[in-house]
Amino acid sequence: MSEAKIAGVCAGIARSLGLDVTLVRVVWVVLALFPLPSLGLISYIVLWIVMPKDPITLPVHVPAPN
C-alpha cells in the first residue's frame, strides 16, 4: 500500500470504499478532533490492530527463452 502514511488505516478504508485517500484523511481528522478527541485516537488504534495487512507480492521470475 503506497498511500500509507502511519499505519495505512485511512488508505485501507479509502481503498475498500473506493474513495480518495486525502478525502478519508481529512474526514478522519475532522471527526477525530471535534466530537470526542480520544474516541478518534482509540478507534484509529483499534483499526490499526484489527485491519488485515496487505499480502506481500513477490516478483515472478520468468525464465528467458533459449
pLDDT at 2 (0 to 100) = 55
* Cell numbers given for 37: 478527541
Query: Residues 33, 39, 45, CA angle at the centre, nearest 5°?
Result: 105
Mean pLDDT of the chain: 80
User: C-alpha 7: how far from its chain's center?
Assistant: 6
DSSP string, 39-65: HHHHHHHHHHHHSPPPPPPPPPP-PPP
| pLDDT above 60 (res 1) | no
pLDDT in tens, 6-27: 778 888 888 889 999 999 889 8
- What are the boundaries of each domain within the chain? 9-50
pLDDT at 4 (0 to 100) = 58
pLDDT at 60 (0 to 100) = 80
Distance of alpha carbon 59 from alpha carbon 3, whole angstroms: 20
